[in-house]
Amino acid sequence: MQLTLNDITFTLLCEKALYREHDHTLILSDLHLGKATHFRKAGIHLPMDSAMKDYAQLRLLIHRMQPQQVYILGDLFHSEHNSEWDLFAATIKAFPEVKFVLVLGNHDILKHHHYAELNMVLVEDTLIEHGIAYTHAPMKEIPEGHINIAGHIHPGVELRGAGRQYLTLPCFYFYKNCLLLPAFGHLTGLKIMRNERGARIYAVTSSKVINVL
């Protein structure tokens, strides 16, 4: 499914990412890598199998889309440095021709040398290109004439069927010139978004993106 924002065409991917068509840029947010190991070290069991899906899915997505650059809109790594960073580093090194850009989020607390060793470009707050402002958290005030693309919220939608049946899915959520991206990471929760008047909601299934509002 495609969405045009300020004359820029994006493809909404079922891998919970965006693809900017004109310059082959892959955009995703909220990977929260290292979360499973972080909590396991604290005595809280989180399944490593689910965490490993994120690294595998990232590799498969880059192989499939063949981007020239990857933008990560914050919360790349969940907390302090742990052994999972090596898994991410191996993923980055598998694509030496791809430029990786990280817009720092509230969970991105690693020392900058970790990113520098992987030749990642860091953006402290806002990356603005072609009338689009890329941030981690949604902007409180969006510059006039701009669209904000952000993460942080982990948007989800609840789809109701007959009787009391319902299904909860991650979603892309567009409202008041702000497009919220679903969290890429598997070990993240969902914030169910309201069906606000004028909002557009695109639910993400395992095989496609569906316009539900």
Pick the CATH number of 2-150 from 3.90.550, 3.30.70, 3.60.21, 2.40.30: 3.60.21
Domain edges within the chain: 2-150
What's the mean pLDDT in 171-192?
A: 93
pLDDT of residue 51: 64
Whether the per-residue pLDDT at 201 is higher than 80: the answer is yes
What would the DSSP string read from start to end of the chain? Answer: -EEEETTEEEEEETTTEEEEGGGTEEEE----BTHHHHHHHTT----HHHHHHHHHHHHHHHHHH--SEEEE-S-SB-SS--THHHHHHHHHHT-TTSEEEEE--TT--S-HHHHHTTT-EEESS-EEETTEEE-SSPPSSPPTT-EEEE-SS-EEEEEE-STT-EEEEEEEEEETTEEEPPP-SSS---EEPP--TT-EEEEE-SS-EEE--
- How does residue 77 score in pLDDT terms, banded at 50, 70 and 90? confident
Predicted TM-score (pTM) of the model is: 0.91
pLDDT of residue 39: 46
pLDDT of residue 171: 98
- How does residue 53 score in pLDDT terms, banded at 50, 70 and 90? confident
